[in-house]
Amino acid sequence: MFRRDPLAAAIRALQAELAGGPRAELGREVRELEALLAQRELRRFATLRGPAEQELLAALPDAAALVSKEGWVRASNAAFDALAATGRAAGLTPLEITRSAELHEAVRRALEGTARRLELVVQRRTFLVHLSPLLRGEVLVLLRDVTDAKRAEATRRDFVANASHELRTPIAAIRAAAETLLSGAVEEPAAARGFVEIVSRHAERLARLTRDLLDLSRIESRQWKLELGPVQVAAVAKQALELLAGAAGEKGLALRCEVPAEARVRADARALEQVLVNLVDNAVKYTAEGSVAIGASRDRDGWVLSVSDTGPGIARHHLDRIFERFYRVDAGRSREAGGTGLGLAIVKHLAQGMGGEVGVESGNGGSRFWVRLTAA
């Protein structure tokens, strides 16, 4: 019976063993069958592992790859593939993909079982790399793109440094003047007046700086809520020009409003006035003679508002950076004229907050700053 039907006998013996009987004696053929079934199961598992891994890698928000024991990429997601010149990382080593000897060395150490973290620049982007040894002797490589975060951090650092520097100058001047007054100058009316004037001038400067800094911070943190609606440009332009009529008059500059009555844009009236005031203020500050004009022209679905002057113009290589915070063509001249270096940054942020764009054209005949807003 055993000879004729080894399979049925084996099944019975195994059932008996599992029910608590003695260990089943299996024939050679049945043992062979067992080995074959196990092998097939293993193979099925191996093919299953692929899609599951692939799904996991694809779900990760970072560039991710599995590096084999031999040091080449066995599986990767699309973000990791994008780092390879060929657009496909599988089969390549991390060194071939990133050309980073540092990463190569770190992967080698991770394959030996040591988890690592490092920062890496690939194709001019900065990545935070995590290397985790896995149980099978492979390594999981994760690359998080931190370029934008690092840039923002650097900008913030620069900003704080610049702001502190700007604040320090008037504070030092006020302090020095006050000390001079206290150490006797206050008894000499003629000298005292000069020092009090210094205090007053620099206190003004501090007030302007803190006002601009607060405005910028309110715009950036969206505390300054822009309420967009139809705004008639001519009315706002006239208000802005009126505010600066005194300063222009002192320099003998003519102010002109050349905005057509039908120019209506989608804007926040107060923000638009601030934009125009800042631009006219600059035009008046930097123009020695001639005129400053606000204009508006129709452009596709919008209006381009402009502030033009007959001033010295701005050299071409400054134009790209002129809207950056604290960027000035001539810092001494700007401070002398009462500038904070923040006026144009505020203009840009407010314009963008209203869904608009800003720009500048400049040459020997003067400058023309423009703001494009949607028509209302």
- The residues of the shown chain that bind ligand ADP, judged by CB under 6 A, are 282-283, 286, 309, 311, 314, 322, 328-330, 334, 339-345, 367
State in angstroms the smallest separation of the CB of 279 from ligand ADP: 7
- Nearest residue (CB) to ligand ADP, 215 versus 309: 309
State in angstroms the smallest separation of the CB of 343 from ligand ADP: 3
| Exposure class string for 268-288: b at 16+ Cβ within 10 A, else e | bbebbbbbbbbbbbbbbbbbe
Tokens of 350: 């407010």
- Nearest residue (CB) to ligand ADP, 181 versus 360: 360
Please give the Cα distance from 32 to 221 (Å, whole number). Answer: 72
Nearest to 343 by CA among 357, 329, 359, 324: 324
State in angstroms the smallest separation of the CB of 233 from ligand ADP: 19
Chain position carrying tokens 């080894």: 6
Strand 254-258 vs strand 291-299: parallel, antiparallel, or unpaired?
Answer: parallel
State in angstroms the smallest separation of the CB of 329 from ligand ADP: 3
State in angstroms the smallest separation of the CB of 212 from ligand ADP: 8
- Nearest residue (CB) to ligand ADP, 51 versus 332: 332
End-to-end alpha carbon distance in the chain: 97
- Nearest residue (CB) to ligand ADP, 136 versus 333: 333
- Nearest residue (CB) to ligand ADP, 133 versus 311: 311
State in angstroms the smallest separation of the CB of 309 from ligand ADP: 5
- Nearest residue (CB) to ligand ADP, 17 versus 361: 361
Tokens of 354: 């209203």
- Nearest residue (CB) to ligand ADP, 130 versus 335: 335
- DSSP-derived secondary structure for 11-34: HHHHHHHHTT-SPPP--HHHHHHH
Numbers of helices and strands, H then E, in the chain: 13, 12
- Nearest residue (CB) to ligand ADP, 127 versus 286: 286
Nearest to 139 by CA among 219, 37, 42, 69: 69
Contact between 273 and 354 (Cβ < 8 Å):
no
How far, in whole angstroms, is CA 257 from its chain's centroid?
A: 37
Contact between 252 and 289 (Cβ < 8 Å):
yes
State in angstroms the smallest separation of the CB of 374 from ligand ADP: 24
Contacts of 67 (CB under 8 A, 6+ apart): 73, 74, 93, 94, 107, 110, 111, 138, 139, 140, 141
State in angstroms the smallest separation of the CB of 197 from ligand ADP: 22
Tokens of 280: 């006219």
Contact between 358 and 371 (Cβ < 8 Å):
yes
- Nearest residue (CB) to ligand ADP, 185 versus 276: 276
State in angstroms the smallest separation of the CB of 339 from ligand ADP: 3
Sheet containing 302-309: which strands, arranged edge to edge?
A: 254-258, 291-299, 302-309, 366-374, 357-363
